[in-house]
Structure 1
């Protein structure tokens, strides 16, 4: 489970929330609820948050603290381990490989970096380096397609080009530069 390629967005989001400060599952669920700061990007239901906490604890990336008594149900706070810090910091530096995941993964990374007041420029440059060859390859592929295949490639090219334009905009470059 410590192989970052096998993790889903909920695990990464929970790990990043704990990188900010120790929290209990309910507090993380509030962050990822529709009205939550991270829920504006991607909503994660409370049961998924608790499953992610369990997986992260099993992997040794977070540790559960002592249950806290309060006016409501007892809550278990979690804190991130050194191994968890290293894992989330590395993930936040990695560009998204598939255009279809930019809406969820890249925007979540940008939101998480912003919450920690970290500069996203290096990530955006790496993301651009991933997207540019995809846009070029799809543009070339469009000429070789007919019928619905041409429509499908045109769609994929337009989506990739729009994603590249978005990244360029965030980097302060003119579109298509």
Structure 2
């Protein structure tokens, strides 16, 4: 199955909905600047609701009725559809294609895998495999560059090499990355609709 064309915000919302039935307000809290997901990727509340509407439109999420709000209106409870679960499961372990996406997409994937209590090793391994030829190519560019071109190539090489070291150094801790209390980890079924 080909992955749907979703924005990073839509993928994040889908991954959170896949953890357990939830609502937009809870997702907005998780993706706020102080939320456990927002420390990696912040999403303003209006964009959360826009993302959820799109996921519903694409059939990746479904409405499960309403949940009472603690101090406000009822909230629309959403769950993931089977096609949504298949899509997000594939996306979470797919390596990012560009070095510039390591800081955003790669780290958010680690965070979301950890929250769901899933093993991060498949993502780390596939990302390392993707990075090795990039690091080699950038090292070759550094060897041939001069002046400003050398500075740019060196910056890109060091960034890629650091990302590669991260993916390769996880060791036995990889399955638990992002799942601890310090990372705001929530296991499947815990806290999905709360907050």
TM over 0.5: yes
Q: Which residue of 2 aligns with 1:43?
A: 42
1:151 counterpart = 2:145: no
Which structure 1 residue ranges, 4+ long, deviate > 2 Å from structure 2? Answer: 2-6, 65-71
1:137 partner SS: helix
Q: What CA distance in whole angstroms lies between the structure 1 residues aligned with 2:145 and 2:27?
A: 47
Q: What CA distance in whole angstroms lies between the structure 1 residues aligned with 2:166 and 2:147?
A: 29
Deviations 1:12-65 (A, max 9, x none): 111111111111100000111112111121111111111100111110000123
Q: Which residue of 2 aligns with 1:120?
A: 120
Deviations 1:137-161 (A, max 9, x none): 0000112222211111111011101
Provide the aligned C-alpha RMSD in A.
1.6
Q: Unmatched 5+ residue regions in structure 1?
A: 173-177
Q: Larger RCO: Structure 1 or Structure 2 (Cα < 8 Å, ≥ 6 residues apart)?
A: 2
1:22 counterpart = 2:21: yes
Q: How many residues align?
A: 171
Q: Is the 8 A contact 2:60 2:80 kept in 1?
A: yes
1:109–1:35 CA distance, 2 compared to 1 (3 A): same
Q: Unmatched 5+ residue regions in structure 2?
A: 173-195
Q: After TM superposition, give the deviation of residue 171 of structure 1 in Å.
A: 3.2
Q: Which residue of 2 aligns with 1:56?
A: 55
TM-score after normalising by structure 1: 0.90
Q: Which residue of 2 aligns with 1:31?
A: 30
Q: After TM superposition, give the deviation of residue 69 of structure 1 in Å.
A: 4.3
